[in-house]
Amino acid sequence: MEEKRETKYSPKDFKSDQEVRWCPGCGNHAILASIQKALSELDLPKEKYVFVSGIGCSSRLPYYMNTYGFHGIHGRAAAIATGIKTVNPDLSVWVITGDGDSLAIGGNHFIHTIRRNVDVNIILFNNEIYGLTKGQYSPTSNKGLVTKTSPFGTVEEPFSIGELVIGAKGKFFARTVDNNINLTTEILIEAARHKGTSVVEVLQNCVIFNDGIHDVVTGKDVRDDRTIILKHGEPMLFGKDRKSGLILEGLKLKVVRIGEKGIKEKDILVHNAHESNPGIHYFLANMRYPEYPVALGIIRSVEGETYDSAVAEQIKNVREKAEIKCVDDLLQSGTVFVVE
């Protein structure tokens, strides 16, 4: 994607003329605003953007973007996006999906897109519920959650999205919160610039069927002490007083307080998002309250060959070596009979 734009955009340039039909108070509104803000700060013409979605409340988003869009079928957005990016690598392709759409019926497409490292950006709205179909438990619902399909509480263990991404050899994983527009915008800009599959999990609130599900860590009064915003090259500090931090003790992360038990700031782990070994990234992605703060920001960002570039290079090499260059060459190859 070498083409640069000459016109400076504002977020409103990416707003379509369609009525936004999400519930009032839905976290999707803030995510949409973050996407439009991020794209306005990037340097591509808006004709180069394509938004692909599957099925679910989140999947309405392409209608609200003044870009190209494709509303696909349930769970197949990643597969469609792979095709788009492979045949037209100059496009910036974005997948809009939810925890039900991508981790249930779309699970295989999701993990294999990541494994192949297709150069697409996946924004996964995680509200831990099926919202569009009216409140069934999803693959990320907490064990014991009472829903319409689990009236006595679900007995299933939920997926950890970060664990799934890293386990599928993911090169870029980040997490944010729907109402933190500045953080989300910052992450989306970096995701767009990353070459390969980027997965951004957004802790999103469904005001109708799972209202407040993330409040235990994202609530205004507790978020400073129960979340940690990771920044590459900076110590892993958190808390209202910035005195809590993370160290590595044996094979586990441990929460400590600066000034207690001889702990100094120099003892705190420094975040390295570019480390190729995924071990620490795996630990960070899996941190859960109350033992740990929940990690936000860019957790992992490493380089790797992309599927679309590898396919393009393969086609180029085959063409250069092939004896058959066109249809005429094919028709005149092998045993040819001349009829007079």
The greatest distance separating any two alpha carbons of the chain, rounded to the nearest whole angstrom, comes to 98
What is the chain's percent helix, strand, coil content, to nearest 5?
35, 20, 45
Residue 78: name the closest of 156, 157, 168 by CA.
168
- Looking at residue 332, its pLDDT comes to 84
- Looking at residue 4, its pLDDT comes to 62
- Looking at residue 1, its pLDDT comes to 47
Q: What gap in Å lies between CA 56 and CA 75, rounded to an integer? A: 10
- Looking at residue 338, its pLDDT comes to 78
Residues 113-151 have pLDDT tens digits of 999 999 999 999 999 999 999 999 999 999 999 999 999
Domain 11-213 superfamily per CATH: Thiamin diphosphate (ThDP)-binding fold, Pyr/PP domains (3.40.50.970)
- Counting Cβ atoms within 10 Å, is residue 71 exposed (0-12), middle (13-18) or buried (19+)? middle
Can you state the angle between helices 181-193 and 28-41, rounded to 10 degrees?
A: 50
Our separate counts of H helices and E strands in the chain read: 11, 11
Residues of the chain below pLDDT 50: 1
Residue 215: name the closest of 302, 32, 206 by CA.
206
Distances (CA, A) of 119 to 5, 184, 251, 302, 304: 20, 20, 33, 13, 10
- Looking at residue 293, its pLDDT comes to 98
**pTM given for the model:** 0.94
Structure tokens at 248: 């590595």
Unique residue bearing structure tokens 């197949």: 76
- Looking at residue 225, its pLDDT comes to 98
Structure tokens at 122: 């996946």
Residue 287: name the closest of 250, 245, 235 by CA.
245
Nearest-Å Rg of the Cα atoms of the chain is: 23
| Beta partners for residue 300, in sequence order | 173
Task: Return the domain boundaries, the chain.
Answer: 11-213
Distances (CA, A) of 288 to 23, 89, 103, 216, 244: 29, 38, 20, 11, 16
Residues 20-51 have pLDDT tens digits of 999 999 999 999 999 999 999 998 999 999 99
- Looking at residue 2, its pLDDT comes to 53
- Looking at residue 54, its pLDDT comes to 96
Q: What gap in Å lies between CA 122 and CA 81, rounded to an integer? A: 10
Q: What gap in Å lies between CA 244 and CA 267, rounded to an integer? A: 12
